[in-house]
Amino acid sequence: MATVCSSRADQGDGRQVSSTAPVVELRKVSKTLGEHRVLDRMDLEVHPGEFVSLLGPSGCGKTTSLRLIAGFDHPTSGDVYIHGHLVNGSPPYRRDVNMVFQSYALFPHLTVRANVSFGLEMQRLLRPEIESRVDEALGMVRMEGLSERYPHQLSGGQQQRAALARALVTRPAVLLLDEPLGALDLRLRQEMQGELKKLQRRLGLAFLYVTHDQEEALTMSDRVAVMQGGRILQCGTPAEVYEKPRTRFVAEFVGEANILSGRVIGLGEGSASVGTAGGVVRVSDAGGTAQTGREVTMVLRPEKVVLSEASASGHDNRLSGLVEEVTYLGNGTRYRVRVGDRLALTVRRQNAPHERAVGLGEKVFACFPADTVHLLTEE
């Protein structure tokens, strides 16, 4: 089912997002390219000042949705609104949105300064105003010293900044960013993530940010829309999407996940017992969706599981198993614990000072509270 993606007044992390009309809104937008249905009844709202991410694997339609908003393509059916106005047929140059392209698309025959001033020249502003606004935009992205360079004389990170300045300078209602950091190496990417976020907050500009990197989406966004096959599967705050994924795909795409499936064998106060391949698992079921005998699928995040040697009490769930794989990650360790013939759990542990290392082949108990197990409500 297509999911409506609209923001609530309170964003969970305490950040207030104004409840004014959305700057961009997609209503049941579908796009067919050739035989291929690239977008399928997509709904999306971006509110003023909001940072919304479209997160999904390559080919799921992220770029296509940005192109429909920018006006390079037009929906096969459904409506696109900008500032509440229906813009379905209007060309890109009449839309108050700017795009930062995947791999930038800077004009190679123009200097950084000329690239940035391009949009202002199109608005036919006077030269002094153009100059001062270009300087301001270059300052924002810390590119003042490189304004006379040509794009091919810039590093990847600098090109990225130039592209950002070019898109920012005309002060659009919303900035569309298509994997803007995808071409950068890890260090630079993390640095730029911070800078982008700061800039977005400072300018109070709405960002619609496309990425296939779940960590990037979780750390930067007010809301994340997880996409697959041209649909938004789930849309919510990073915490909602991570802690309460609605489908298996969302659970597995947004971070590591143990998927436990089994049959409900007992019901308690807001909880249920599920028989799995690793033993009985108690799961909190606040929504009361479980019924005895029903097949269910559950998600357990690797960092919620504690490994203990003794059969210590005080945990809702305690599955005994054998450590069959240990992977050192630097800041943590990942274990693979076999708890049944057809079930092995991935467990993640921080490398804290007093943690005793658990060795390969050791017999352990995987312990986790009932409320860390999340019942999937959709398939």
Partner 1 sequence: MNGTQEELTGASRFRPGWLLLPASVWWMVFFVMPLGILAAISFLRPGSPVEWSLTAGNYGRLLDPLLLKVFLRSLVMAAAATAVCLAIGYPMAYFMARQPPRLQKLLYFLTLIPLWANSLALTYAWMVLLRSDGVLERGLRWAGAIGPADDLRLLYTPASVVLGLVYWYLPFMVYPLYASLEKFDWRLLDAAMDLGATRWTALHRVMLPLTMPGIIGGCLLVFIPALGNFVVPQLMGGAKQALIGNVIQERFLSQPQDWPLGSALAMTMMVLVTAAVWAYFRYAREEHALG
Residue 321 binding ligand ADP, by CB under 6 A: no
Hey, which bits of the chain come out as E strands? 24-33, 36-46, 51-55, 77-82, 85-86, 97-100, 174-178, 206-211, 223-228, 231-236, 258-268, 271-276, 279-284, 295-300, 306-308, 317-328, 332-340, 343-350, 363-368, 373-375
Which one of the spans 64-72, 82-90, 182-190, 202-210 is the region binding partner 1 (CB under 8 A)? 64-72
3-state helix, strand, coil in the chain (%, to 5): 25, 35, 40
Site for partner 1 (CB under 8 A): which residue of 122, 265, 277, 312?
Answer: 122
Residue 93 binding: pick among partner 1, ligand ADP, Mg ion, none (C-beta 5-8 Å cut-off by kind) = partner 1
Q: Which of residues 150-209 bind ligand ADP (CB under 6 A)?
A: none
Site for ligand ADP (CB under 6 A): which residue of 60, 97, 137, 174?
Answer: 60
Strand arrangement, sheet containing 317-328: 306-308, 363-368, 317-328, 332-340, 343-350
Do 318 and 365 touch, CB atoms closer than 8 A?
yes
Q: Which of residues 52-81 bind Mg ion (CB under 5 A)?
A: 63
Other C-beta atoms within 10 Å of 99: how many?
26
Site for ligand ADP (CB under 6 A): which residue of 22, 49, 61, 172?
Answer: 61
Residue 62 binding ligand ADP, by CB under 6 A: yes
Which one of the spans 104-112, 326-334, 346-354, 370-378 is the region binding partner 1 (CB under 8 A)? 104-112
Nearer to partner 1, 123 or 331 (CB): 123
Residue 170 binding partner 1, by CB under 8 A: yes
Nearer to ligand ADP, 56 or 71 (CB): 56
Site for ligand ADP (CB under 6 A): which residue of 17, 29, 38, 112?
Answer: 38
Q: Which residue has the tokens 């769930």?
A: 317
Q: Which residue has the tokens 């130039």?
A: 162
Residue numbers of the site for ligand ADP (CB under 6 A)? 33-34, 36, 38, 56, 58-64
